[in-house]
Structure 1
Amino acid sequence: MSEEQRHPLEPKAVGKGLDAHRHSPLDPQSYLAGSQHPYSPFPGNALKWDSIVYDDGTTYEGLTREGVPHGKGVMVFGNGVGAGFQRAKRGERYEGEFAFGFAHGLGMHTGVDGEIYRGEYLLGKRHGCGAVVDMQPYYKQVAKGANPTEAWENTLPQIKASMQYGTWKKDLMAGSSGSSRFCPLPEVQGTLQEVEEVLTRARMFQYKPDGDVTFMAVQDAKGIPISTFQDPLHYPHNTKFLAPGPLGQCHPIPDSAEVREQMLKHARNYERIYNSYNLPYQSTPGSDMAKAIDAFKAQLAAWQKKLKRIQELEQRRLRRLERRSGVKPDAPKEEEAGRGHGRGRQPPQPVEEEDDGDIDDEDLIASTSGMDSPTGASSQQTGAASNKWGGLPPPTAFGSVSLGMHRAMTGFGCFMEHLAQRAQRRRCLTRPRH
């Protein structure tokens, strides 16, 4: 059926949309507009947050577009299925990325039987790199009344043994990470880290005030909806010390050992993170950082010594040029001119001072620009210096010092780079392996 014969309310037929780039090279997705293809763009309406309770008991909290889950969110299944899943039991949940109502991208599926899958999804199906783990041994011990911490420590070996890394294709595991044909273990671990970031953002859309899911899930014993901790205006009894600003300062911390222990735990955690990303001012003697600081101090002392030597050589050269020209640096020009043309006066003779050493033009790049060039032999020397620099006056004294400092900085940078390559690697902050 041609485009002209299609009814306005009938969806456009594009099949799998594999030739979309041929019809619209600049924007292939625009060719899918008006069809039922999962990648068909919406005609408008930006993303917005929504809290939806469907007729079968399924709930969704997250971003939507035209009322359809799109972006990041959390879906808890009721008596039916959704997000492209073919089968799901009541109470199972999917957290992660959505696209046009489908679970698409990175996400995590938690089953009621204890199976947890984290990885990539394609239109509601496990497809790509991921990992699956069986948490049923832990759930069984908790259901029997065991302490959650002790139950986790006891069942951790079994949980690690049940974990499988690999590649999924259309909801079926195609192979483990041990084969080169499938996702290698480093790629799967990188995918799991990205999944954790997506889950953190998706869970931020849960239990917002005035949401349909909040009214349905957060109720008291009589079925009346109650406010949650996410309500910025409501703080339950004995929790107002958590309020920001002056309100929180008006209420003391409860005299509870558990509350104080949790606050100290978070403070220690923040301190550990801060120390992991910030270097201490006082390093441990004998450590790599202490060696680097000592090397920097030695290099800095060498800088200062070299700079002092450059300044001394520059001053000696300037005095030498002044003796050759016969002009004292502190004598005004008018006085020198009067002395040169006065009656019965002889021009000033250069005073032979004790020579500081033979310093020629190759010893130091010095400056004579800005100084009046005298006639005679000195003029020839100035002209020779100008010819040496291509007809331009030699660099200034400041330029000479800057050039020396630049060379010293370059050498120190190379030294620190070699030192960093030989230094022991710092332990990076990673997520717990379990």
Structure 2
Amino acid sequence: MSKDGGQRHPLEPKQVGKGVDAPRHRPLDPQTWLIGSNHPYSPFPGNALKWESWVWDDGTTYEGLAREGVPHGKGVMVFGNGVGAGFQRANRGERYEGEFAYGFAHGLGMHTTARGEIYRGEYLLGKRHGCGQTVDLSPYYKRVEKGLDSDDAWDQSIKEVEARTVHGLWRKDILAGKSGGSRSCPLPEVLGTVQEVDEILTKARMFQFKPDGDVTFMTFQDAQGKPITTFQDPLHYPHNTKFLAPGPLGQCHPIPDDPQLKAEMLKHARNYTRIHRMYNLPYQSEPGSDMAKAVETFRKRVAHTRQRARRARELERRRMRRAEQRAGTRGAAKPQDKDEEEEGPSSAPPAADAEEDDGDFDDDDLLASTAGVAEEDAASKPSQSGTGTRWGGLPPPTAFGSISLGMSRAAHGLSCMMEQVAIRAQRRRCLTRPTYR
């Protein structure tokens, strides 16, 4: 809403002041209340993020995301004769890679100094603030400058570099304490922060070498000062490099017969294979491994679940068959013969039809249903002993059993009648929501 009470135009900036009352409007996410305003913490102030490539007058370069002409997001800044990103001092050639916020180094990033010192950790408005790690590579650089091979120089300086590595907590660009102290970041937390920084660096470096950016034109020039095309151009590849092109174009050109190039490509292929195997479980697990045991346990559980489902279907099928047989027996019921009435009381248990169905079905019902089916199958066949055909050679039910059976059938018929009356009865009127058409 605008100040005069009318509807606010979408392009008109929203007035939120300092934003102190944002939690009152949006308790769950106060920052969403600042959307559409020029507040510095607004998620979308002004225009959207853009991919920029700049070169300032002092030689400082920036490649990455920016908003309203200010570095914001992820990018790479290389310092020239001046400073930027909130750093107080920096020599020419030093670089910061990582996250930016409103032109400041803010979040996770890495700063590489001209002396060979590298800091990876958390930043707050251009200052090291939080958990981080510093690695001093000056011993390695000194040996390389003297002409020593890079691999030999690293083997000789690795112990010295590890001794100079510091893990700890920084407060406003000052080391507040090394890991292990009560008020410092523990070593696992620092190592986790460094791992997150490596992921941020991979994303930030993807914004480098924009083909039509200022940094590319300044960096890649020929002897006459004219810009030259780099490998980052997706449409043009210099001679003997078209095998790097993606898709069918790269497959049409052979790889140069260079042992060092082929060895490097094989190394990267093995690395990708190792990463793929690290995050993708094999289809056929090794016998005796934990994964094989877990798969076997899962298979047994699935088989048990399917067996229970088949058993439940079988129980339901037998229950329906017993209900149909009861209905057929009830419809075909006839008076008992006089000979059967003259017989005395029998010790035989009542028939399965005399049992009252409580609605539940378990293993006892299954046994009873199978027994009833067997008795009824036997009753449908002539008796081998010649004692009778209706009960399959068994004595008839007693008078008490007949009375109980009749009362049970009468109660069942009454309940069915009441159920039909309740179904056909007019429904009670109740309050419902109005239907708009």
Whether TM-score is above 0.5 comes out as: yes
Matched, 1:380 2:378: no
Matched, 1:224 2:222: no
Question: Structure 2 counterpart of 1:380, which letter?
Answer: S
| 2:114 maps to which of 91, 112, 122 | 112
Return the structure number with greater relative CO, CA threshold 8 A, min gap 6.
Answer: 1
1:254-293 → structure 2 map (5 Å cutoff): 254-293=256-295
Question: Structure 2 counterpart of 1:148, which letter?
Answer: S
**Distance (Å, rounded) in 2 between the aligned partners of 1:188 and 1:117:** 12
**Distance (Å, rounded) in 1 between the aligned partners of 2:406 and 2:157:** 93
1:342-389 per-position Cα deviation (integer Å, ceiling 9, x unaligned): xxxx9799xxxxx99x99766539899xxxxxxx9589359659979x
Question: Structure 1 counterpart of 2:284, which letter?
Answer: Q
The number of equivalent residue pairs is 342
Distance 1:160 1:319, change over 3 A: same
Deviation (angstroms), 1:296: 3.4
1:133-172 → structure 2 map (5 Å cutoff): 133-172=135-174
**Distance (Å, rounded) in 2 between the aligned partners of 1:118 and 1:104:** 13
Distance 1:311 1:236, change over 3 A: same
Question: Structure 2 counterpart of 1:268, which letter?
Answer: R
Distance 1:382 1:267, change over 3 A: farther
TM-score (norm 2): 0.66
* Secondary structure at the counterpart of residue 151 of structure 1: helix
Partner of 2:400: none
Partner of 1:94: 96
Distance 1:385 1:181, change over 3 A: farther
**Distance (Å, rounded) in 2 between the aligned partners of 1:385 and 1:275:** 68
**Distance (Å, rounded) in 1 between the aligned partners of 2:111 and 2:118:** 6
**Structure 2 spans left out of the alignment, 5+ residues:** 1-16, 337-350, 370-403, 421-437
Deviation (angstroms), 1:287: 1.0
* Secondary structure at the counterpart of residue 230 of structure 2: coil
Question: Structure 2 counterpart of 1:190, which letter?
Answer: G
| 1:238 maps to which of 215, 219, 240 | 240
Distance 1:104 1:219, change over 3 A: same
**Distance (Å, rounded) in 2 between the aligned partners of 1:386 and 1:95:** 84
Matched, 1:180 2:182: yes
Partner of 2:327: 325
**Distance (Å, rounded) in 1 between the aligned partners of 2:413 and 2:119:** 78
* 8 Å Cα contact 2:140/2:153 also seen in 1: yes
1:254-288 per-position Cα deviation (integer Å, ceiling 9, x unaligned): 22223332332232222222222222221111111
1:14-413 → structure 2 map (5 Å cutoff): 20=18, 44-326=46-328, 363-364=361-362, 377=405, 380=408
* Secondary structure at the counterpart of residue 121 of structure 2: strand
Please report the RMSD computed on the Cα atoms of aligned residues, expressed in angstroms: 4.2
Question: Structure 2 counterpart of 1:229, which letter?
Answer: F
Distance 1:319 1:121, change over 3 A: closer
* 8 Å Cα contact 1:325/1:378 also seen in 2: no
* Secondary structure at the counterpart of residue 251 of structure 1: coil
TM-score (norm 1): 0.66
**Structure 1 spans left out of the alignment, 5+ residues:** 1-18, 329-335, 341-345, 350-354, 369-375, 393-434
Distance 1:157 1:301, change over 3 A: same
Question: Structure 2 counterpart of 1:159, which letter?
Answer: V
Deviation (angstroms), 1:213: 1.2
* 8 Å Cα contact 2:38/2:46 also seen in 1: no
**Distance (Å, rounded) in 1 between the aligned partners of 2:41 and 2:318:** 79
* 8 Å Cα contact 1:314/1:364 also seen in 2: no
1:101-149 per-position Cα deviation (integer Å, ceiling 9, x unaligned): 2222221110110111111222222122211110112222222333333
* 8 Å Cα contact 1:120/1:126 also seen in 2: yes
**Distance (Å, rounded) in 1 between the aligned partners of 2:67 and 2:322:** 82
**Distance (Å, rounded) in 1 between the aligned partners of 2:408 and 2:104:** 87
**Distance (Å, rounded) in 2 between the aligned partners of 1:382 and 1:170:** 90
Deviation (angstroms), 1:157: 2.4
Question: Structure 2 counterpart of 1:184, which letter?
Answer: P
* 8 Å Cα contact 2:144/2:150 also seen in 1: yes
Question: Structure 2 counterpart of 1:147, which letter?
Answer: D
* Secondary structure at the counterpart of residue 326 of structure 1: helix
**Distance (Å, rounded) in 1 between the aligned partners of 2:410 and 2:226:** 98
Question: Structure 1 counterpart of 2:104, which letter?
Answer: F
Distance 1:213 1:348, change over 3 A: farther
**Distance (Å, rounded) in 1 between the aligned partners of 2:290 and 2:48:** 53
**Distance (Å, rounded) in 2 between the aligned partners of 1:294 and 1:24:** 54
Question: Structure 1 counterpart of 2:362, which letter?
Answer: L
Whose radius of gyration is greater, 1 or 2? 2
Question: Structure 2 counterpart of 1:364, which letter?
Answer: D
* 8 Å Cα contact 2:65/2:72 also seen in 1: yes
Q: Select between 181-190 and 196-205 the one with higher mean Cα deviation.
A: 181-190
1:234-266 per-position Cα deviation (integer Å, ceiling 9, x unaligned): 112111122123322221222222333233223
* 8 Å Cα contact 1:39/1:100 also seen in 2: no
Question: Structure 2 counterpart of 1:216, which letter?
Answer: M
Distance 1:50 1:308, change over 3 A: closer
Question: Structure 2 counterpart of 1:261, which letter?
Answer: A
* Secondary structure at the counterpart of residue 152 of structure 1: helix
Distance 1:50 1:299, change over 3 A: closer
Distance 1:102 1:298, change over 3 A: closer
* 8 Å Cα contact 2:217/2:227 also seen in 1: yes
**Distance (Å, rounded) in 2 between the aligned partners of 1:43 and 1:292:** 51
Question: Structure 1 counterpart of 2:118, which letter?
Answer: I
Question: Structure 1 counterpart of 2:238, which letter?
Answer: P
